[in-house]
Amino acid sequence: MAKVTVSKSVKKPVSKKDISLKPIKDFVGSRSLPAPVDRLEDVRRRARRFREKFLSGPQVVYYKSFDLVRVPYPTKYALLNAFSLPTPFLHIINRLFIIQYKTSEGIKTLLFSPSDVDANAETPFFKRLSQSFGPFQNIGRKIMAPTLNTVEECLKQVGLSPEKVDYISFDHLHTQDLRKWLGANGQPGYFPNAKLLVMKEEWNSIQGLLPPQSDWYCPNGSGGISMDRVVLLDTDTELGGGVALIRTPGHTYGNHSLVANTPEGIFVTSENGVSADNYNPLKSRIPGVRKYAKNTGMEVILNGNTLEIGLDQYISMVLEKEIAGPSLRNPEFFNVMPSSEMSGFWLFPGTSPTFSFGQLEFGNIVTH
């Protein structure tokens, strides 16, 4: 079972509310082989077997993605070493996902990547970028980083009350300020009943960051949050029918991916890559990407702003695309739906993805 940590030194058993969380053992030991290529192929085989098993199981009750904010992001990170034009930035769209699924305790609701857009702007990298506009910061932000929706607005659109949210989770905690959602220092959170699902390695990282990491994390974004609101996951975890969180370390030590079985196949979501092109660069029309992949043999192109463990990220991206399988919308690409998806923008020439998913919706939401 996943564990709920109540302090740094004291743990208690999983509460009744968390008994639906079940460990997944399919990938245990998959990265223990000595040679990197053997680790890769072992993960690939396991991912294909897991995909078949997961596809044969139940589908989610509801799945919907929402655009939250467009963010300028350096091309040198998003398409690591592969982009051939001098365009310094591209746009990524940060998205929120609302997922509902069946469990033995009834239908539960997960919010994946519920970003507090205003608070997250304090992340050092993006704060410096905003300040570079000087007295034109407000204008620059409206043009370069327009807010499209807030989490609160998205919930209202589908008629879901904050009290109905059981869990929130993020593939990793770059830029995230959690305090508004979970409450901090005795103040209540917007989601009174929700718990954070996070890999133990990711939570441990934010307790003591090094400079290459700290530029990308929101200062004190978890400060004062009660550990009663945090579920530390030790392993890959099934949340319920058609939903799992699978460890995909690399972009950060504690990165994980959302895996959801839908009427359109399995969708896998993280920020290991920021576009469909990252997962099949040989089919990319982004300048330089296909040529780079052909010249180097790179099967995937990393999103590499921190490169905490690059080889593991490469293996994780292969795992993601093998679980996802080909997209029904464009079989040349995989059903990997980035949590922050690359999007074309007139100010950033050459940065339109070859294929993108946009916003998705499957099923009918349960609001009562």
**What pLDDT, on a 0 to 100 scale, did the predictor assign at position 144?**
78
For residue range 135-153, what is the model confidence (pLDDT) as tens digits? 656 766 777 788 999 999 9
Torsion angle in degrees (nearest 10) through CA of 39, 40, 46, 50: 140
φ, ψ for residue 130, nearest 5 deg: -65, -40
For residues 251 and 314, the answer to whether their CB atoms sit within 8 Å is no
**What pLDDT, on a 0 to 100 scale, did the predictor assign at position 182?**
98
Q: How far, in Å, CA of 175 to CA of 141, rounded?
A: 17
How confident is the model over 169-197, as a mean pLDDT?
97
**What pLDDT, on a 0 to 100 scale, did the predictor assign at position 228?**
96
Which residue, among 107, 121, 114, 191, has the nearest Cα to 150 in the 3D structure?
A: 114
**Lowest mean pLDDT: which of 1-15, 157-171, 232-246?**
1-15
DSSP letter (8 states) at residue 274: S
112 is written with which tokens?
């994946």
How confident is the model over 179-204, as a mean pLDDT?
97
Using alpha carbons only, what angle is made at residue 114 by residues 218 and 223, rounded to the nearest 5 degrees?
35
% of the chain at pLDDT higher than 70 = 93
Q: Where are the domains of the chain?
A: 21-363
Exposed e or buried b per residue across 122-149, where buried means at least 16 C-beta atoms within 10 angstroms of its C-beta: bbebbeebbeeeeeeeeebbeebbebeb
Is residue 12 predicted with pLDDT exceeding 70? Answer: no
What are the DSSP calls for 25-42, one per residue? -TTTTTT-SSSHHHHHHH
**What pLDDT, on a 0 to 100 scale, did the predictor assign at position 17?**
53
For residue range 252-281, what is the model confidence (pLDDT) as tens digits? 999 999 999 999 999 999 999 999 999 999
**What pLDDT, on a 0 to 100 scale, did the predictor assign at position 15?**
41
pTM for this model (two decimals) = 0.93
**Lowest mean pLDDT: which of 3-17, 116-130, 189-203, 315-329?**
3-17
- For the four alpha carbons of 354, 264, 272 and 225, in that order, the dihedral sign comes to positive
How confident is the model over 172-185, as a mean pLDDT?
97
For residues 90 and 345, the answer to whether their CB atoms sit within 8 Å is yes
Cα 47 to Cα 27, 235, 252, 262, 319: the distances in Å are: 8, 15, 20, 18, 6
For residues 201 and 245, the answer to whether their CB atoms sit within 8 Å is no
**What pLDDT, on a 0 to 100 scale, did the predictor assign at position 80?**
97
What are the DSSP calls for 328-346, one per residue? SS-TTSBSB--SEEEE-BT
Q: How far, in Å, CA of 323 to CA of 54, rounded?
A: 9
Cα 140 to Cα 71, 91, 209, 282, 289: the distances in Å are: 11, 14, 30, 35, 29
H/E segment holding residue 317: helix 310-324
Is residue 16 predicted with pLDDT exceeding 50? Answer: no
- Write down the mean pLDDT value for the chain: 93
Q: How many CA atoms lie within 13 A of 136 on its CB side?
A: 6
For residue range 63-102, what is the model confidence (pLDDT) as tens digits? 999 999 999 999 999 999 999 999 999 999 999 999 999 9
For residue range 323-367, what is the model confidence (pLDDT) as tens digits? 999 999 999 999 999 999 999 999 999 999 999 999 999 999 999
Task: Give the architecture (CATH level 2) of 21-363.
Answer: 4-Layer Sandwich (3.60)
Provide the 3-class DSSP secondary structure of residue 65: strand
Q: How far, in Å, CA of 348 to CA of 117, rounded?
A: 22
**What pLDDT, on a 0 to 100 scale, did the predictor assign at position 139?**
67
Contacts for 134 with CB less than 8 Å, ≥ 6 apart: none
**What pLDDT, on a 0 to 100 scale, did the predictor assign at position 11?**
38
